[in-house]
Structures are given as C-alpha cells and as structure tokens.
Structure 1
C-alpha cells in the first residue's frame, strides 16, 4: 500500500510539473510582486493608511525617529531578481504628508537565464499638494549577464517636495566580476503639475562603445543620480546650495546641475562607498533647505 501511494504521488507531481512547466519556464515567464501604499497625515503624524501587496514585497512597520515623518522600509525577502521577476512599487502621498522610503540592503539583479528573460523594478510615486517624500533605496548591483530594467516615475503637484536617488553598480568589482555581458535599461522621469521636467533614459549594452567611451561611462562601473525638486528651488537660496554642494563633493566624480526647478547630483566612478557617502552628504545639505529639517539617517543604513 505504501509503495502504491508513493508511486501515485510521484505520478501526480510529474503530471503537474509537465502541465505547468511552459508557464513557469521559457521566454514568456513572469513572476510579479506588487506593493501599494497610501500615506496620510493624521494630527501630527503621517500614517500608513492603506497597504496592498502581492508576491514577495512587504513593508516593515512604520518608524518615527524624527517625530511626525513616517519612515518605511520596503522589504523584498528573496533579496534579488532572477529572470522573469518584476517588482512594482507604488506610493500615494496625500497632501501635507511627510515620508521617507528606503530599503534594508542592496538590491541584486542576477544574470539572466538561457532565454534571456528580463527582470526589473518599476517605482511610481505620486505626491499631492504640499506632500513631502524621500525615495532613498540602497544601491542596486547589476550582475554580469543581467537583462535589467529600472524605471522610476515621479508625479508632483505644485507645492510637493521630493528627494530621491538611484545608485547602481555594474558587475561585482569586489569579487572580480566585470559587466562585460548583459543589458541595463534605466529610466527616471519627473513631472510637476503634469509637465515633464526631467526625462532620462539609459540603454546600456555591456562591452559597447557607450560603456568604454570617454563621453560615456569611460569604463567606470558605479554611477548614481540624486534628483530633488520643490518650489523653493526657484529662490536665490539655491545658488548658495549649489556652491556648497560643489565645494564639498569631489570633482570630477561628482557633478551638480539645476534646471527647471530640478536639482541633480551625479556620480561616475568605481567606488560605491565613495558614491554612497557623497550622496548622503548631498542629501544632508539639500534636506534642510527643501524640507526644513536636518538629515535623519535611517537606522537600517547603519546595521
């Protein structure tokens, strides 16, 4: 009897595997994970009012290390993306809300499978009038032979204020792995009142002229972009901030520009520690002017 049951169980499992194999593997594979949050001010605090998720995306409980500002940690328990993984993160920031979203560790985009199926993350942030949001994830490591997609979409109403960044390392230099095979498609867009103010798209193929050229990446493997925007950036105080940023961030690996009320801090080099430290420093200078409060480093960054 036991042998019969074992054989029957094996046949059922084999049948199920054969039935679902075309969906789980192959060029059309896709494993989705979605997270949607709504942040609303109540009394003197911003609260996580709505939360919806599917797949391996979660939010750790809100933290309030600086009073009313809601700090949220976006959790992706697998820790990395394989072929077919698609993460979708949405945050709706109500009027007068104050929030900071970050991640507990570096994200990883592993090498693609034999079908070359893409993997990636899409982030959409919507800020209504006088909302304040900071999107400050830790860096993303793009492994050799990845087929990676990173898409950040930011919509601001007239008086909303935003600071965010995207830090990327191509390959794993500490392990001697270079990004000589694979692709990265990265896009960052920012609107204010429906007007597109910043639109940047990178389509990088490993070992291409863009990667090696002096007018491209010049064989550097680490790059980052900090984007900040708010109504206060149209005042005379902005010139003083730009001068301070240029004085404290080393050139030529860091550059600072501003146009249409959007401030950009960029890094291109070979050292993620240098990139991260410089972005933290830039954030600590921008935050007091834009948000009216000093930098409060999320404790997860220090663990």
Structure 2
C-alpha cells in the first residue's frame, strides 16, 4: 500500500522515471516587399519565448531565444524549430549560456532538439551561446538543418563539460550530441558524439584528451575559395583550431580548455566567413556584450 501511495505521488508531482516536461517554440520568418524579414508566425508551449525582433543591420531579423528557467533538468525536453522562407535573412541566438544539470536518481534523459529549415534564397544563422553540461547529466543535443536550393547557413555548437573554474570534472554522466545537415534531401554532414564521463573517449589522446571545451562552426553555401580557408587557418592557431571543407560544408573546430578562447576564435571565424557567404560584415548581437 505504501509503495502504491508513493507511486501515485510521483505521478502527481512529476517525479519518477517517466517524467517529461516539454517546452516548444516554432518560428516562421518571411521577407516583406521592402526586403525586411518579419516574424510571421510564432507558436510556443511551456517556458520558451523570444524577445521582440531586433534590426541592428537593416533587414536582417535578429531573434533572442529565451528559456526563463535558465537550465535543463531531468525530463526537460526543449524543442525549437524555425522556418525561413525564400528571401528571408535571420540570426537566432541566446542571451546566456545554456545549462544541463546533473540527472536525477532515475537517470531521466534531458536535452534540446533544434530543427532549422531554410528555403531557396534564404539565409539563416544559428549562433547560440555555449552549453554547459554538468557532471552527472544525461544530455541529448540534436541539431538538424535542412536547406533547399541556394539557401545559406552559418551555425555553431559550443560545449563545456563540467565546470572547470569550480573544479568540477565531467567524470560521470552522458552526452549524446548529433548534428546533421541536408541540402535538397541529400545528407551533407552527419556527426555524432556519444560520450560517457568515465570513458576512454574523454581521456585518451585519440578522443578529447581530457579537454573540457569543444566547439564546431559550420557554414554551408557555394564552393569556398582557398583564400578564405588560408585566412581562417592563419587567424586561428593550431592545434586548438582546425579548418576543413568537404561537400560545400566549411568546418571550424576547437578543442581545448578555455571557453573564452573558443568563443573568441569562433567570433573571428564568423567575421571572416559571413562577408564571403552572405555579403555583409559580422554584426555582433548586442546581447552578447551585456
């Protein structure tokens, strides 16, 4: 009888292995007759919102995605989707680092799913601030980008394992990170990291080599010229940073122990890539500097 009461209490108050709290945000962006991109549709459920659109560089729509709880706990499932119609120009970012806290005693999965669809002639930038994965988390980060025709895209995913400044090492827990990019139904990039905190992948030289910070910037457009690749390699010092290109996907990677260095390098890379891909200089979102 006591176990039955406890089971009922778990269901009532949201505890237990089947807990699931969904937050959902869906956006649609369209270019108007003047060339300005407008937010034409917004649907949300749970604690996911946006601030009003900003236009610091003319017609490009800057959107700040807000998650008021400030972190993801066991059972949280954040779902973000954005649809950029032909001719739209958008930049999506976040006001602060995301946090994925340690899992509960049931080990319930927690995480975020991002779906970005960019139509022919549209441009989209997905530039969230970093994600901090706490010791003991059971985290899933899944990002999918679907491009059609001449769509252009720049995005990044920056991750810090544990809290090195506080002496917290990611020596327990799990991270499942998946990044996929399609163009016209053809898979151009498919990367997956399945990391256990106590695994050799985190500690070995063939893996993360005990580093806590890693990041990937990807840019997808037309063929890249060698001068840009040379400029990126000259600006971003090896071995922390690497630059590669394949099937039209340009990749800038960081592996090290300094999120400030990772972030600064990605900003510099973005500053070189954006004028080449989107014919306009990088415009730092104001929220990054507050």
**Aligned residue for 1:161?**
152
Number of aligned pairs? Answer: 284
Matched, 1:302 2:289: yes
Q: Residue 207 of structure 1: CA displacement? A: 1.8
**Aligned residue for 1:209?**
200
TM-score (norm: length of structure 2)? 0.96
Matched, 1:287 2:277: no
Q: Residue 20 of structure 1: CA displacement? A: 5.6
**Aligned residue for 2:212?**
221
Q: Deviations over 1:110-163 (max 9, x none)?
A: 000000001000000000001000000000000000000000000000200000
- Give the counterpart of 1:259 among 221, 246, 254: 246
**Distance in 2 (alpha carbons) for counterparts of 1:57 and 1:192:** 28
Q: Deviations over 1:230-260 (max 9, x none)?
A: 12xx15xx21000000000010000000000
**Aligned residue for 1:21?**
10
**Distance in 1 (alpha carbons) for counterparts of 2:144 and 2:31:** 23
Whichever of the two has the greater Rg, that structure is: 1
Cα-Cα RMSD: 1.2
- Give the counterpart of 1:64 among 35, 55, 68: 55
Structure 1 residues without counterparts, runs of 5 or longer: 1-15
Structure 2 vs 1, CA of residues 196 and 271 (structure 1 numbering), >3 Å: closer, same or farther? same
**Aligned residue for 1:34?**
24
Q: Residue 18 of structure 1: CA displacement? A: 7.5
**Aligned residue for 1:79?**
70
**Distance in 2 (alpha carbons) for counterparts of 1:179 and 1:68:** 42
**Distance in 1 (alpha carbons) for counterparts of 2:200 and 2:104:** 25
**Aligned residue for 1:4?**
none
**Distance in 1 (alpha carbons) for counterparts of 2:61 and 2:137:** 34
Equivalence map 1:39-50=2 (5 Å): 39-42=29-32, 43-50=34-41
Equivalence map 1:111-260=2 (5 Å): 111-231=102-222, 234=223, 238-260=225-247
TM-score (norm: length of structure 1)? 0.92
Q: Residue 295 of structure 1: CA displacement? A: 0.3
Tell me the SS of whatever aligns to 1:207: coil
**Aligned residue for 1:274?**
261
Structure 2 residues without counterparts, runs of 5 or longer: none
Q: Residue 176 of structure 1: CA displacement? A: 0.7
**Distance in 1 (alpha carbons) for counterparts of 2:167 and 2:54:** 38
